[in-house]
Amino acid sequence: GENVEQHPSTLSVQEGDSAVIKCTYSDSASNYFPWYKQELGKRPQLIIDIRSNVGEKKDQRIAVTLNKTAKHFSLHITETQPEDSAVYFCAAGGGGADGLTFGKGTHLIIQP
Amino acid sequence: DSGVTQTPKHLITATGQRVTLRCSPRSGDLSVYWYQQSLDQGLQFLIQYYNGEERAKGNILERFSAQQFPDLHSELNLSSLELGDSALYFCASSPHTGASYEQYFGPGTRLTVT
């Protein structure tokens, strides 16, 4: 089945700096790659997604890139703000499994 | 607010018991997915229903079962509960079947087994 690896597990950046979270997947048939933000005790919230026919997608301060050949995708957050502090999960779907396969999460800490 | 609702918010029960978790998808969504989130296993896909029919199974234990009703709400039944079943249980809804589409998560049910 699909396996998604996510790095780093914890990321601390200064407010205003950029943050990058990286994920790799194993199933070349996966074609949908969403990113979720989860605040403590809350639901995972879909913040951006990308499909395999696109290399990059941007939405204001967040962007996602996908390299199908290398089977990795990344989340980029620019001009980080305190409200960006949360756990971020990458996921892969559309391959052999019919549910999303999630990475273990990255705890993003924004230092004031 | 995603538009997906789940009840109850919290559930505390004893080992060996049975519980039912309920989920109502967003208006118009036909798919319901169930996920389990625990510290050691992370977020894991359990099972999916689409328009009343089971479509896919993930890492769901035999002690767990689910169904989706004609009004599209879904219930996840957990029986013979063990301490290790303590977790956050989320449902997510999507307008389509297959994991190539957006899934919107509900607020979750926190299950504590004592």
| B76-101 tens-digit pLDDT | 999 999 999 999 999 999 988 777 78
- pLDDT score of B68: 97
Partners of residue B43 in chain A, C-beta under 8 Å: 44, 89, 91, 102, 105
DSSP for B83-111, written as a single string: GGG-EEEEEEEESSSSTTS--EE---EEE
Give the residue-averaged pLDDT of A5-19: 98
**A98 to chain B, closest Cα gap in Å:** 5
- pLDDT score of A97: 58
CB–CB of A45 and B56 under 8 A? no
- pLDDT score of A96: 61
CB–CB of A98 and B103 under 8 A? no
The per-residue pLDDT of chain B, averaged, comes to 94
Partners of residue A29 in chain B, C-beta under 8 Å: none
- pLDDT score of A54: 84
CB–CB of B56 and A100 under 8 A? no
Residue in A closest to B90 by C-alpha: A43
pLDDT at A7 over 90: yes
CA angle A111, B87, A39 (to 5 degrees): 25
pLDDT at B3 over 90: yes
CB–CB of A43 and B43 under 8 A? no
Nearest-by-Cβ selection for B108 from A43, A94, A99: A43
Q: Name the residue among B71, B73, B32 with its Cα closest to residue B54.
A: B32
**β-sheet bridge partners, residue B34:** B47, B91
- pLDDT score of B64: 97
CA-CA distance, A51 to B7, in Å (whole number)?
A: 32
**3-class DSSP state of A5:** strand
Partners of residue A42 in chain B, C-beta under 8 Å: 107
**A19 to chain B, closest Cα gap in Å:** 22
CB–CB of B55 and A102 under 8 A? no
Percent of chain B with pLDDT over 90: 86
**A64-102, pLDDT tens digit by residue?**
999 999 999 999 999 999 999 999 999 999 866 578 999
- Per-residue confidence at B59, pLDDT binned at 50, 70, 90? confident
Q: Name the residue among B16, B25, B18 with its Cα closest to residue B52.
A: B25
Percent of chain B with pLDDT over 70: 100
Number of inter-chain CB pairs under 8 A, A vs B: 67
* DSSP-derived secondary structure letter, B114: -
- pLDDT score of B2: 83
| Cα A98–chain centre separation | 19
Give the residue-averaged pLDDT of A4-31: 96
